[in-house]
Amino acid sequence: MADGAGVEAVIARLALRFETGIDAAELAKIAQNTHSADPRNTAKLQRIADLLRRRPEIFATLRKTGGAVRHERGEDETDDAVVKRLAAGFDAAAAISPAASVQLSSLGNEEKLSAATAEIVAWLERRGFTGTDRDILDIGCGIGRFEQALSALSRRIVGSDISPAMISIARRRCAGLGNVEFRPTRGFDLADFCDASFDRVLAVDSFPYLVLAGLAERHFVEIARVLKRPGMAALLNYSYRGSPALDRADVHNFANANGMQVLVDGEKPFRHWDGDAFLLTISIGTLRPNAGSDAEREKPLFDSMKENKMASGSKKHIGRGSHGKGAGAGAMTDLPKDKIGENAVLSNRDKKQHTKERGLDGNRVKSEQYQDHSADRRPED
């Protein structure tokens, strides 16, 4: 069990891995009987077992919420069909538990969700992302938790999402905040917004879905278009492929192609969430996509418990993921081999892990390895 894994994150992973066939009491027994050489892990497993025994209804709710979003793509399924299906899944998940629908490791608890949100907002503040003279676009705003938290730290914030149900919850959540706006979107681009209309762009656990739908590259182009110069974009979680090197390569390729620089390169700066953080900037003088002459234009460009069959995926069936929009999944320990699959990363909108076979939106991945950016790392416990 790696350091940093929260009890809530582990339970959320279990809910994702075990959609059927095993109940909370059985999982509690497995956790209770699992041994680790590390006393800290043994203590954590005990807390997991205790929570599963005391609150089996939480596990049932998480499992139901997680099962609402299907992350399987048929070979002939179009991007449009993928987006529509995801939107319907998010609608269903939000109806079960708004908090769990955007961060499964919140266990459906608003206080836990607020703690994770506040931590991310504090990180954004330290990075110079916020400011009362700045307009912010939040791609994939979900239930509006960041709009609520960033309202006092920005001049204007606009949230967009493909889920009508989540947009409705967000509007109720932020009622009375005059500088907050929500817009439903089809999810293919940022066509609703003009060039140079935002100082900052935020995307918390949204890009994994764009990668799934083949729309990540297009959104880099769109982010570069709607950003003012100088501008900044925070992408918190890029994909659920399980390869930080591939994600970094992808982010660098698309950022460079659109005149953006990578300041934070896939760090894990959060305690309440294990999301990977990317921070991009764009400088004064950088042309927008399709601006100027042809020569001047920028190029657009868990610990899991399940049988081995659940730990792998193909192009058609994408395995469960584990990062997420505020997921906060952590590490696990040595559990029974016949019960435990490979480690996965928790997704907060109840995602499944993408296979490497899907590639990077159909583009070739460079082989270079990129190093972590060292700035602003949290102190070690």
Task: Give residue-wise pLDDT tens across range 238-266.
Answer: 998 889 999 999 999 999 999 999 999 99
Q: What is the mean pLDDT of residues 116-137?
A: 98
Question: Would 83 be classed as within a structural domain?
Answer: yes
Cis peptide leading into residue 244 (ω within 30°): no
N-to-C CA span, the chain? 16
Q: Where are the alpha helices (DSSP H) in the chain?
A: 7-17, 24-33, 39-54, 56-67, 79-96, 98-102, 110-126, 145-150, 164-173, 207-212, 216-226, 244-257
Residue with tokens 């504090």: 122
User: Which of 221, 249, 282 is the endpoint of a domain?
Assistant: 282
Cα(244)–Cα(102) distance, integer angstroms: 22
Task: Say yes or no to pLDDT of 289 above 90.
Answer: no
State whether 128 and 75 are in the same domain: no
CATH number of the domain within which 152 lies: 3.40.50.150
255's tokens: 């950022």
Cα(328)–Cα(323) distance, integer angstroms: 7
Q: Where are the alpha helices (DSSP H) in 73-163?
A: 79-96, 98-102, 110-126, 145-150
State whether 277 and 168 are in the same domain: yes
What percent of the chain is predicted at pLDDT more than 90? 58
Give the neighbor-by-neighbor strand order of the sheet with 180-184.
Answer: 180-184, 154-161, 131-139, 198-204, 227-236, 277-282, 260-267
User: Which of 282, 314, 344 is the endpoint of a domain?
Assistant: 282
User: Which of 240, 267, 282 is the endpoint of a domain?
Assistant: 282
State whether 237 and 127 are in the same domain: yes
Q: What is the mean pLDDT of residues 6-13?
A: 85
Give the sign of the dihedral formed by CA 48, CA 50, CA 55, CA 59. Answer: positive
Question: Would 186 be classed as within a structural domain?
Answer: yes
State whether 140 and 263 are in the same domain: yes
Question: Would 141 be classed as within a structural domain?
Answer: yes
Q: Which range, 152-166, 314-328, 331-345, 363-377, is most confident?
A: 152-166
Question: Would 297 be classed as within a structural domain?
Answer: no
Q: What is the pTM of this model?
A: 0.75
Determine contact, residues 49/368, Cβ cutoff 8 Å: no
* Amino acid at the residue 172: R
Q: What is the mean pLDDT of residues 78-102?
A: 95
pLDDT band at 365 (very low <50, low <70, confident <90, very high): very low
SS3 316: coil
pLDDT for 74: 79
What is the bridge-based pairing of β-strands 154-161 and 180-184? parallel
pLDDT in tens, 186-228: 999 999 999 999 999 999 999 999 999 999 999 999 999 999 9
Question: Would 202 be classed as within a structural domain?
Answer: yes
Selected residue with higher pLDDT from 141 and 2: 141
Q: What is the mean pLDDT of residues 161-190?
A: 97
State whether 167 and 132 are in the same domain: yes
Q: What is the mean pLDDT of residues 148-168?
A: 98
pLDDT for 340: 42
How many domains are there within the chain?
2
State whether 96 and 155 are in the same domain: no
Cα(11)–Cα(33) distance, integer angstroms: 16
State whether 137 and 34 are in the same domain: no
By the 10 Å C-beta count (0-12 exposed, 13-18 middle, 19+ buried), 368 is classed as exposed
330's tokens: 């952590």
State whether 336 and 238 are in the same domain: no
State whether 277 and 311 are in the same domain: no
Cα 164 versus chain centre, distance: 19
Cis peptide leading into residue 230 (ω within 30°): yes
Give the sign of the dihedral formed by CA 320, CA 322, CA 325, CA 329. Answer: positive
State whether 254 and 121 are in the same domain: yes
194's tokens: 């003009």
pLDDT for 5: 54
Question: Would 252 be classed as within a structural domain?
Answer: yes
State whether 147 and 228 are in the same domain: yes
Provide the residue count of the chain.
Answer: 381
Report angle CA 147, 151, 155 to the nearest 5 degrees: 120
Q: How many C-beta atoms lie closer than 10 Å to residue 359's C-beta?
A: 17
The phi, psi pair for 131, rounded to 5°, reads 160, 140
pLDDT for 22: 87
State whether 61 and 133 are in the same domain: no
Q: Which range, 59-68, 227-236, 336-345, is most confident?
A: 227-236
35's tokens: 């041994």
Give the range of the structural domain holding residue 151, as residue numbers without chain letter: 117-282
Determine contact, residues 161/190, Cβ cutoff 8 Å: no
